[in-house]
Structure 1
Amino acid sequence: MKPRQKSTTVERRKEILNQLSARGQVLVHELSKTFNVSEVTVRNDLEQLERKHLLMRIRGGAIKTDGGVGIDIHLSDKDKLHYQEKARIGKRAAELIKDHDTIILDSGTTTFEIAKNLGHLTNITVVCNALNIIGQLVNNNNVNLIIPGGYLRRNSLSLVGPLSEKNLQNIFVDKVFIGVDGFDTQHGVYTPNLEEAHLNELMIKNAREVIVVTDSSKFFRRSLAFICGINRIHYVITDEGIPAADKKRLEDAGVQVIIA
């Protein structure tokens, strides 16, 4: 697309949304050339539009979102969203795990980052319902894997349904790590899938400690299915972008907030 004269911020952001509506995705380097502005300026535009829930940033650009509570983004697209934050969160979360712990890793891109940081541990047991995480851990001889079974949700590569639920009912763990799609600190945490929400409830019920891992873009957002209230959560591991009011509300409720 031919470069144009520099536009105002409002005009530029409006045109970004128009391009998103037409194409479904925009790229930072293309927008920089189109609007004759720096890539830093474009990234700031995308960040501000994401704060208004008008798009979702990915590495190198942004994708369209309809903003609906039931939106269920494919794992391969989620993996591109806020990757650096998720990597730091995953590394910090792994530091809470001790040798000989029994843990549950929920499905998700942030919990996958936890799985990548378990190499320093000895003789831990991991209960997991996510095929991508299982694949990451299968060659780690210090990890005893328990797979509850179930049928495959391809969007999240997770195993859900009655078989998963039945097997999880009899499993008790030291810690559960839950990834979420929405976090309203006045109510609780959310996911777009009802079956995953029910499975998460069982995981939480049978864990001594509940640890929610989420980047800060999930705050002040709800999704279709409620998982649990903040009274069930012991730790929240997130990035420095968490709104101050949400951090205070969690801490006032007795939740330990860890910034990665």
Structure 2
Amino acid sequence: MMAATRDALRVAYSRQDIEPMANADSAQQGNGADSLMSEERRMQILQIVRERGRVRVHELSERFSTSAVTIRNDLNELHRRGLLLRSRGGAVHYETANFESSLTERLQTRASEKRRIGAAAAAMVNDGETIILDSGTTTQEIARHLKGKKGLQVITNGVNVAMELLGVQGIQLVIVGGILRADSVSVVGGFAENMLQHLAADRLFLGAAACDPEFGPSTPNLEESLVNQAMVKIAREVVLVVDSTKFTKRSMSRITAFSGIHKVITDRGIAPEIEERLKTSGCEVVLV
């Protein structure tokens, strides 16, 4: 009788051991399936963002028949991985600007926006000021609109900018020395940085290849960013002049944080949530 009781207890204990293990295996399989589904949904969300340029949380929630909280978590995770740019109520397409196109190519890109930005920037310049014009096609547009100013001193590292102002009456031109980069026709290197340390300016007009609102203005070229940083240090006011497409890109070398930018001049194509983020950083935003 006692032996039969011991056998019954042994069977009962064995069942208790097996059932929890089976339940645990099922839970692990369930979690794995959930993770797989989440990752698949995130990849689909990323594809939608790339196709449309931007998405809204409520649209994705309806499309995938899931909660807004789940979609926000998906967008936050994709933002953390650097695959998209999180914005208020959704997300926008994110690009990495790892290469720099030639000056000729950039002259033909967003030309009308650059002309408007250049005119608006030049209108801020007063007679008798000392300004810095960064190298680039947008700052070249600024130079074109400066003709007619009086007693102006212009410091630049852009050969294209210098050629635009060469011989213009009423403008004293200072071009920094150093190594000439062929693609960008800009001057970089230690000589340029050292020379800038001995100068001062009322205002810097700064261009950039990319302007991620969290990372700040950036460029693919490290030497270019170092010269830009030297410019930022000697200017009383820093004005960022870029078209709206730059705000969904990030490049390798950061120039400065947006907390170091006083004004941003861009076109009206900028996303409202990005404009609001810039204002939150303390930037005055001028749309043209």
What is the TM-score when the length of structure 1 is the normalising length? 0.74
Task: Output one character per residue of 1:22-59: Cα deviation in whole Å (capped at 9) or x when no partner.
Answer: xxxxxxxxxxxxxxxxxxxxxxxxxx96948xxxxxxx
Give the C-alpha shift of residue 221 in structure 1. 0.7
Q: Which structure 1 residue ranges, 5 or more long, are not aligned?
A: 1-47, 53-66
The runs of 5 or more residues in structure 2 that have no matched partner are 1-49, 55-94
Q: Distance in 1 between matches of 2:236 and 2:171?
A: 20
Over aligned residues, Cα RMSD in angstroms?
1.5
Structure 1 residue aligned with 2:210? 182
Give aligned pairs, total.
199
Distance change >3 Å, CA 154–CA 217, structure 1 → 2: same
Task: Tell me how far 1:70 sits from its aligned partner.
Answer: 1.7
The corresponding residue for 1:222 is 250
Deviation at 1:120, TM superposition (A): 2.8
Are 1:105 and 2:105 matched, yes or no?
no
Q: CA deviation at 1:68?
A: 4.8
CA distance in 2, matches of 1:136, 1:51: 36
- 1:191-202 matches, cutoff 5 A: 191-202=219-230
Measured in 2, the distance between the counterparts of 1:182 and 1:128 equals 20
User: Which one has a bigger Cα radius of gyration?
Assistant: 2
Which residue of structure 2 aligns with residue 166 of structure 1?
Answer: 194
Q: 1:69: how far off?
A: 3.3
Cα deviations by residue, 1:137-174 (Å, 9 ceiling, x for unpaired): 01211110111111110111001111111101111100
- Distance in 2, Cα, partners of 1:50 & 1:108: 29
Query: Secondary structure of 2:248's match?
Result: coil
Establish whether residue 151 from structure 1 lines up as the match of residue 179 from structure 2: yes
Residue 238 of structure 1 is aligned with which of 260, 266, 270? 266
SS of aligned partner of 1:189: strand
SS at match of 1:119: coil
Q: 1:49 to 1:140 in 2, by over 3 A?
A: farther
Is 2:123 the counterpart of 1:95?
yes
The runs of 4+ residues in structure 1 deviating greater than 2 Å are 48-52
1:250 maps to 278
TM-fit CA distance, 1:121: 1.0
**Secondary structure of the equivalent of 2:191?**
helix
Task: Give aligned-pair identity as a percent.
Answer: 39
Q: 1:82 aligns with which of 95, 110, 113?
A: 110
